Amino acid sequence: MTTSGLRNLLSLAVLLLMMLLPFAAASAGEAEPSGIPSSCWAPASLSEDIAAVIRDEKRWSCDTSEFSLDAERVLLRFEIVPGEPLPRYFLSRRAALDTVHLLAIDRDGPIRQDTIPAAALRSSMAGGYFKAHLPEVTAETRQIVAAIDLPSHKMTLERAYLAPVDAAGDVSDMRFALLLAGLAGMLVMPLIFNAAFYRALRETFVLWHTALTFSLLATILVTSGLSVLLFDPPAMTLSWMTTVIFGMTVASGAMFTYSFVEPGLMHPLLRRVLPWCAAWAIFLSVFHAAFPFVARPIQSSAYTAAFAPVLAIFMLSMIDAWRRGSRAARYQAIGYAPMVAVGLIRLVTGLVPWLHSSDAALLFYAGCVCEVVFTTLGVAERFVTMKRERDRARNEAELLERLSETDALTALLNRRAIERQFEQLRAEGFCALAVIDIDHFKAINDVNGHSTGDEVLKAVANALQPGPHARAYRLGGEEFVLLLRGEDAETQAELRRQAIPAIVAHTVPGLGRPVTASMGLTALAGCEDFAAIYARADKLLYEAKSAGRNRTRGGCLGAPVGQGFATERARSA
């Protein structure tokens, strides 16, 4: 990710967050929906006649803060105020249920009833709500009763209301839908960045961050009116999808933390537990979505409570990693803070009996902005850090390789280097190989000492003058190799050999005698490997030594090897 890309993402996130603030102001208290709320409720069994229950005033409780799921059927009563706009829809929070019965009761007693099975309920533009058309409501209608069979969540009872139109009927609703669409679009950006990160890093935490971002994007789609605008799936389909995606979000968040926090900067036990938390979240969500009525009166509360250990372990992991100096944990802790608050709100309101349940949806949307900004920044910083470390390791490896291929005394390349480079240099036009050996070098060491001998070796290396058309190598001891190219390759080699006495005499005075060298020179013929060509040049060097030293033996590049150097030059050793 480029710096400008991060800056643009941060600017967009801040803008969206500021635009969400007016809507999020009501999030903590989960503002009541606009419409007619229920005034009383009554429990009943599935076998009882709904009309009979309606007429039994003793069954009704008008304390709407104490809804109970113990009964198989729960009736909600709504009072129609004369002169007010007549409602046309029944809306409530999506959760698993069996059937909804809607009854319109007129002033003089007639009742009109519609029954809608759960599979036929449609999704409302109000995020997370379903809707159902009411029976005909007239000026004579005084009450609407909604009987819900096998409700599985208290929010279905607490958030039920009547409205003359579906949500998104005014400018503010459409503005909020557009903001959520912008947020969903912003979540696509980290997916693109992660594709680039993964190509460079091949780290699993990039994949888990992608899964986390994708699950957050899916959550926004299924919990808001965007899914209705785009797909309009049945309400119960969105209900179980919301449950499963929530489990995926928790699981991918746990695995992202597991793989993202630097090694050694989280307690080993906490790191080992995080994958189990992920598996537990997936199991809970899939089971709750597939079997919502197994322990219906308490299942939603038990399901919510089962995530408490996961939230506690996650918070402990962040605190422990931060305390140990993890930079990744700092980004995560800041980015996840709103999400942790959402989890705490859901836990407290879902478990404390006298509180209305809240999913803190608006705070969740604001949390998505924080998550996108800070975890993406964390991934980007980790990318830069890991790239820097890999570049440093690569540079160190290259340095070590250069050191392993360099003769420490003369700074020339060594035998390992020429063996590795040989085929490439031949492809670049190098056509001759010379093996050079200093004459009577053992005597120099014996008479003048090894330190003087070392100075002689360095002077010889200077005489060989490596350059664009000549490569010089020290193979060991007093033996050197030249690789040359060009039509005058033989001349270049001979001039370097003949320069050795003068350069050594100038560099290492007091030797008492000139230092000469013998050379074997051969062409790089055909496809022979280095070993074969070196062996031929070494044999020619031996011939030069046997012929009296301080001379060259070799073949013209255009003549058969062994016919001798074009013009033999020899000096007495």
The contacts of residue 120 (CB under 8 Å, 6+ apart) are 234
CA distance 137 to 349: 35
66-69 long-range contacts (CB < 8 A, ≥24 apart) are 66/353, 66/354, 67/41, 67/154, 67/157, 67/158, 68/43, 68/297, 69/151, 69/152, 69/153, 69/154, 69/157, 69/296, 69/297, 69/298, 69/300
Torsion of CA 388, 394, 395, 396, to 10 degrees: 110
| Residues of the chain by 3-state class (helix, strand, coil), percent to 5 | 55, 15, 30
CA distance 283 to 294: 15
CA distance 95 to 463: 89
- Which stretches within 261-326 are classed as H helix? 268-290, 296-306, 308-323
CA distance 70 to 49: 18
CA distance 50 to 181: 42
Do residues 365 and 20 make contact, with C-beta atoms less than 8 angstroms apart? yes
Tokens describing residue 72: 């198989």
The H or E element containing residue 73 is: strand 73-79
Helix axes 235-260, 327-351, angle to 10 degrees: 140
DSSP 3-state assignment of 390? helix
Give the residue among 521, 526, 536 at the shortest CA–CA distance from 489: 521
**Which candidate in 72, 158, 371, 478 is catalytic?**
478
> Is 478 one of the annotated active-site residues of the chain?
yes
Residues carrying an active site annotation: 478
